[in-house]
Amino acid sequence: TDFLQNVRRLLGNAGPPGRALALQLANFEAQRRAEQAERMPESRGDVGAIVGEPFFLPLYKLFNIYGGVFRLTFGPKSFVIVSDPLVAKHLLKDNAKAYSKGILAEILEFVMGTGLIPADGEVWRVRRRAIVPAVHRKYVAAMMGLFGHATQRLCDKLDEAAAGGVNMEMESLFSRLTLDVIGKAVFNYDFDSLTNDTGIVEAVYITLREAEERSTAILPYWKIPILRAIVPRQRRVTKALNLINEILDNLIAICKRMVEEEDVQFEDEYMNDRDPSILHFLLAAGEEVSSKQLRDDLMTMLIAGHETSAAVLTWTFYLLAQNPGVMTKLQEEVDRVLGDRHPTVEDMKKLRYTTRVINESLRLYPQPPVLIRRSLESDTLGKYRIDKGEDIFISTWNIHRSPKLWESPESFVPERWPLDGPDPTEVNQNYRYLPFGGGQRKCLGDMFATFEVITALAMLVRRFDFSLAPGAPPVEMTTGATIHTAAGLLMDVSRRRTGSDDHPDEVSNRETNLASTRMSEA
C-alpha cells in the first residue's frame, strides 16, 4: 500500500496525464479495500414479517442470528442494524460528523421543522450551542418545585380514585403529568392536562399520534399535497399544528415583552424567577434566531421531553407491579429519605435506590428503543464497509438486552447498579448503556428528565400501592417514537398506611401552595 501511495504521489506531480493515472490507481486501491472488507451478513425479508409486532422485537431475534452488524433488506430498500456497543460508539461519538438523522428528520419535519432533534450540520451546531446552557444545573434545581407540584396534582386525582375503588389507566395519566411539566418548563404554559381535555391538549395529542403514525406507516401518502388537503385525518393535523403554532407565537411574543422590560445582566446561569422557562433564557440570551427556528426548537423539546418521560414512568410502574420485592425496598427508601415532603434537589443524591430503579427501567425499556442515522460518506463499521446514504438503526433495545453484555439481561434487577457507584447514565459504560444516547447528540434533558421521573416515582409510591388491575388486558408493547402499551396500563391504586393519614401533611401542602403561587404569577 505504501508503495502504491508513493507511485500515486509521483504520478500526481507529473502533470495532467500523470494525475489521470493517479486517479485510476486510487480507484483500484479503493476497490481492493472493498473486496478485502468482509461481506456484511444480510437478512432478506418481506415487510409483512415485521408488521404486526413492534419492529424492534424481530430485530432482536435477527441480532441473535446475524450478530452486532447486519443488513436487513426488503426489496430495493435496506437498513444496517447495529447492536454492537463499539460500533454504536463509532457512530455516535468517534465519527459522528459523518452521520445525519436521515429518515427521522424526514418524518419529523412536519412537526419539528429544523428543531434540535431532526436538525443536522450547521443549524444543529448553532442551536445546540444556544440551548444547552439553558438547561443548566440551577435551572433544573428550580424545576424541582414544578415536578413536585405537578405530581401532587396527580396524587390528588389518584386519591379520589383510591377512595372510590376505581381502577386507573396510568399510561395516559403519566402522559398528562409530563405534558404539564414540559409545557411549564420549556415555555411557561400551563396545559393543566390532568383536568383539561380540550383545545390545545387535544391538538398536542393529534400531532403526537400523527408523528408516530408517520414513523411506522408504509405508504407516506401525506407527501402528496392534494391528499394532505382532503384526507380528514390530515386536515385535523394541519388544524392542530396551526393552533399549537399560534399559541407558541403568542407565548414568544409575551416573553419577548417581558425580556424587554427586564433590566438584568445576562449571565451563564441566567434565570428569571418569575419565568424560569427555557424560552425566557433563549430570548434573554439575545442571540439572532428567527421566530420559526425558535418555534421549531420549542416544539422539539415539547415532544422530546413529554412522551419519553411518560413512557419511562409507565414501564417503571409495570415492572414494579411484577417485582413486589423491589417495590418494598423502594418504598422503604422513600419513607426514610422523604416521608411526605416534596423532593428537593439535595434529595436526588439520597434517593439512590429510586435512581437505580429508573436506571434499570431505562435499560429494559429504552425510549426510544432505536436510534436512527444516515451515512453522509462511506465508512467502515467494525469489519464491514458501508456506502454513503445508508440508513442505520442503532438498536439500544438489543444492546441493553444483549446476553453478551449483561447477566440475566431480561430480569429487572436494580441491584445490578451499585448503590454507592456513580449514576450509570453519567459515567462511560463503553456504550453498552445508552438511555440518553451518546456523543455530541446526547440528550440535553437527561438531568431534567431523571429528576422529574425520580420525583414522580418517589411521591407516588410514598402515597399509594399499585398493582395490575384484576382482569386488565395483558400489558403488551406497541411502538411509535417511544414504547407504548398496546391497551393501556390499568392499575389498582390504593392509599398506603404510612401514618401520615392521621396527620394531614402540612409541609407538603405548604410547599404546594407556594408552588401554585409561583406558577400563577408566571
Residue 323 binds ligand HEM (CB under 6 A): no
Q: Which is nearer to ligand HEM, 22 or 405 (CB)?
A: 405
* Bond preceding residue 368 cis, omega within 30 of 0: yes
Selected from 437, 465, 495, 522, the binder of ligand HEM by CB under 6 A is 437
Distance separating alpha carbons of residues 510 and 199, to the nearest angstrom: 32
Q: Minimum Å distance from CB 119 to ligand HEM?
A: 7
Residue 128 binds ligand HEM (CB under 6 A): yes
Q: Minimum Å distance from CB 370 to ligand HEM?
A: 9
Residue 399 binds ligand HEM (CB under 6 A): no
Only segment of 39-47, 384-392, 434-442, 487-495 that touches ligand HEM (CB under 6 A): 434-442
Residue 445 binds ligand HEM (CB under 6 A): yes
Q: Where are the beta strands (DSSP E) in 313-454?
A: 370-375, 379-381, 384-386, 391-395
Selected from 100, 234, 309, 485, the binder of ligand HEM by CB under 6 A is 309
Q: Minimum Å distance from CB 31 to ligand HEM?
A: 33
The answer to whether the beta carbons of residues 88 and 77 sit under 8 Å apart is no
Q: Where are the alpha helices (DSSP H) in 166-231?
A: 170-187, 200-216, 225-230
Residue 68's CB is within 10 A of a number of other CB atoms, namely: 21
Site for ligand HEM in 349-388 (CB under 6 A): 367, 371
Selected from 81, 301, 381, 469, the binder of ligand HEM by CB under 6 A is 301
Selected from 151, 152, 277, 300, the binder of ligand HEM by CB under 6 A is 300
The C-alpha cell 445582566 sits at 265
**HSE-CB for 144 with a 13 A CA cutoff:** 16
Residues that bind ligand HEM (rule: CB under 6 A) add up to a total of 22
Residue 417 binds ligand HEM (CB under 6 A): no
Percent helix, percent strand, percent coil in the chain, to nearest 5: 60, 10, 30
Q: Minimum Å distance from CB 306 to ligand HEM?
A: 8
List all residues 6 or more positions away from 5 whose beta carbon is below 8 Å from its beta carbon. none
The C-alpha cell 383536568 sits at 195
Distance separating alpha carbons of residues 521 and 426, to the nearest angstrom: 35
Residue 449 binds ligand HEM (CB under 6 A): yes
Residue 448 binds ligand HEM (CB under 6 A): yes
Site for ligand HEM in 213-272 (CB under 6 A): none
Selected from 116, 146, 348, 351, the binder of ligand HEM by CB under 6 A is 116
Residue 436 binds ligand HEM (CB under 6 A): yes
Residue 316 binds ligand HEM (CB under 6 A): no
The C-alpha cell 403488551 sits at 476
Q: Minimum Å distance from CB 21 to ligand HEM?
A: 44
Q: Minimum Å distance from CB 303 to ligand HEM?
A: 9
Max CA pair span of the chain: 94
List all residues 6 or more positions away from 114 whose beta carbon is below 8 Å from its beta carbon. 123, 127, 293, 296
Selected from 62, 81, 82, 117, the binder of ligand HEM by CB under 6 A is 117
φ and ψ of 81, to 5 deg: -105, 125
The answer to whether the beta carbons of residues 231 and 221 sit under 8 Å apart is yes
Cell of 386: 458501508
Instruction: Enumerate binding residues for ligand HEM (CB under 6 A).
Output: 116-117, 128, 300-301, 304-305, 308-309, 312, 367, 371, 435-437, 441, 443-445, 448-449, 453
